Structure 1
Amino acid sequence: MFKHILVPLDGSPRAEQALPFAAQLARVYRSTIVLARIVDIFETIGASSIQAAALTNEIREIQEKDAQEYLQRICSSGPLEKLETSMEIHSGDVATTLLDIINKQSIDLVLLTSHGHTGQKHWTLGSVAQKMVHHCPVPVFNQRENYLFPPAAPTQDLTFCIALDGSLLAEASIPPTLYLAAAFAEPQHREIHLLRVVKTLDIDRVEAFLKIHKLNIQKFLYDEARNYLKELSESLNKDTAAQLGVQVTWSVSMGRDIAQTIIREVEGETSLQSSPIAYSLLALATHGRSAIARWAAGSVAERIFHTTGLPLLVIHPPAQNS
């Protein structure tokens, strides 16, 4: 699945924290790792200086030479040594340039760290990650500098959580997550947990629906979610998940705020730094199906991106009629 992996780097150690992840995937799936370094001239000289315009080409050449030397060092040492790599060095707007690379190089996965170098002469990788979540046509793995994946200390069991809303669009997050699980743990120790959150309705609405339609709408939605996940997990455990040696489990939770409930379920009630948690990664799609009994996945994904401390796999599925 992951034949071409893009790792944008801004020269900071934080951004380089994505490299062990890329290296492991490349070894398992024989992938090519594409390292990208984007030079933003205007961050160096400013856009309004008349004198700077004459220096633009000279500064670009210097920065691009530095970028090439930097990427060559990354390729020839550390976790990427002896792996197939290529380099992309460009100047311009970082997010726009990365999206162009993704399309031209047939990238399958983008690996980012949520906080990059914040110095004046470096682009902020966090803001780039946010733009990728909104616009990237392929899965984006957002590494967290304080909760790295894969963890420094090896773990025997690995569990990823996928947040679903019952739509086919949201299910686009399942295949890449299964393949990630297969790459980072031994068979029989790989688990994907499907989570669906049912919104808690106001009691007045539930009672009114019961009075008019003779149906407990809250129970109906809860049962519908359970049946959906049960059938989906059984299908995956007989097919794709079984082939990859991954066990699929599931659960349904209820809450008034979908994003907060998802975060509580995957992180627990305590800080990530003070207590180990059950999940190593959270995956979800950026757009789901908007109808009754469906949560607005776009806004949920964005809120989770800004809130969770877990590594996050975000999939932006192609638009479909629903």
Structure 2
Amino acid sequence: MYQFVNIGEIFYNLQMSIKNILIPYDGSPLSKKALALAKDIARNFTADLTLLMVIPVYYPINDSVFSGAAVTNYQEIVKTLKQQGEKELGKVVERCREEGTKTAYKIVHDDVSNAILKEAKKLKADMIVMGSRRLTGISVIKRLGSTARHVSEHAQCPVTIIH
């Protein structure tokens, strides 16, 4: 037996449920495409955007001769990356706001996929829009642990992946 669905009603219900959109953003072409799509969705659904920049965690080998220098240098690198991220995201957020979208940003230092999932949960995101690497051929098979895949499998909200 078939059940007929009122598409207008579904659209209306969807419209009521998309209030917060999370966009993992690193300045790459695919994250920019994800942001463009998220801005369109946000304007149509009067949703708020949150851009999330994740500085990946690096684990120096503790028993290495170079571990002390690696940690010291790494802390400086993280500080520099956060400063660069602040500048970049500040500009991007300003453009989004000028285009009429309520936008905020956050920079975290964590494992990338887990940071995205934690922030989505904390934000109570109704949707995540993110880019994915353009892998082809055997690379697709070898890349089973990709960030986009991990996020899409574990997120508690819909995930749109831009290729």
1:220 corresponding residue in structure 2: none
Match of 1:33 among 49, 68, 72: 49
Q: CA RMSD in A?
A: 2.2
- Distance between the aligned counterparts of 1:143 and 1:105, measured in 2? 21
Secondary structure of residue in 2 paired with 1:14: helix
- Structure 1 81/68 Cα, relative in aligned 2: closer, same or farther at 3 Å? farther
TM-score by length of 1: 0.39
- Matches of 1:21 and 1:90 in 2, distance apart? 23
Question: In structure 1, what is the equivalent of residue 26 of structure 2?
Answer: 10
AA of the residue aligned to 2:39: A
CA contact (8 A) 2:39 2:96 kept: no
- Structure 1 residue ranges without an equivalent (≥5): 117-123, 145-322
Q: Which amino acid counterpart does residue 7 of structure 1 have in structure 2?
A: I
Measure the CA separation in 2 of the matches of 1:92 and 1:15: 18
**CA apart distance, 1:56:** 2.9
Q: Please report how far the alpha carbon of residue 80 of structure 1 lies from its aligned counterpart in structure 2 after TM superposition.
A: 6.8
Instruction: Letter of the 2:83 partner, please give it.
Output: K
Secondary structure in structure 2 of the residue aligned to 1:141: strand
Q: 1:111 is matched with which residue?
A: 129
Identical aligned residues as a percent: 25
TM-score by length of 2: 0.73
3-state SS in 2 of match to 1:82? coil
* Residue 55 (structure 1) shift: 2.3
CA distance in 2, matches of 1:113, 1:56: 26
Residue pair 1:76, 1:82 contacting (<8 A) in 2 also: no
Q: Which has the higher helix share?
A: 2
What is the CA–CA distance in structure 1 between the aligned matches of 2:79 and 2:27, rounded to whole Å?
A: 17
1:138 aligns with 2:151: no
The offset of 1:92, in angstroms, is 1.3
Letter in 2 for 1:95: S
Deviations 1:207-259 (A, max 9, x none): xxxxxxxxxxxxxxxxxxxxxxxxxxxxxxxxxxxxxxxxxxxxxxxxxxxxx
1:92 corresponds, among 101, 104, 110, to: 110
CA shift, 1:57, in A, is: 2.5
- Counting matched residue pairs gives 133
1:129 aligned onto 2:148: yes
C-alpha displacement at 1:78, in angstroms? 6.3
Highest RCO, 1 vs 2 (Cα 8 Å, sep ≥ 6): 2
> Which sections of structure 2, spanning at least 5 residues, go unmatched?
1-16, 135-142
Q: Which residue of 1 aligns with 2:140?
A: none
Closer, same or farther: CA 80–34 of 1 in aligned 2, 3 Å? farther
Partner in structure 2 of residue 47 of structure 1: 60
Q: Which amino acid aligns with 1:23?
A: K
1:61 pairs with 2:79: yes
Q: How far has the Cα of 1:60 moved from its partner?
A: 1.4
SS at match of 1:37: strand
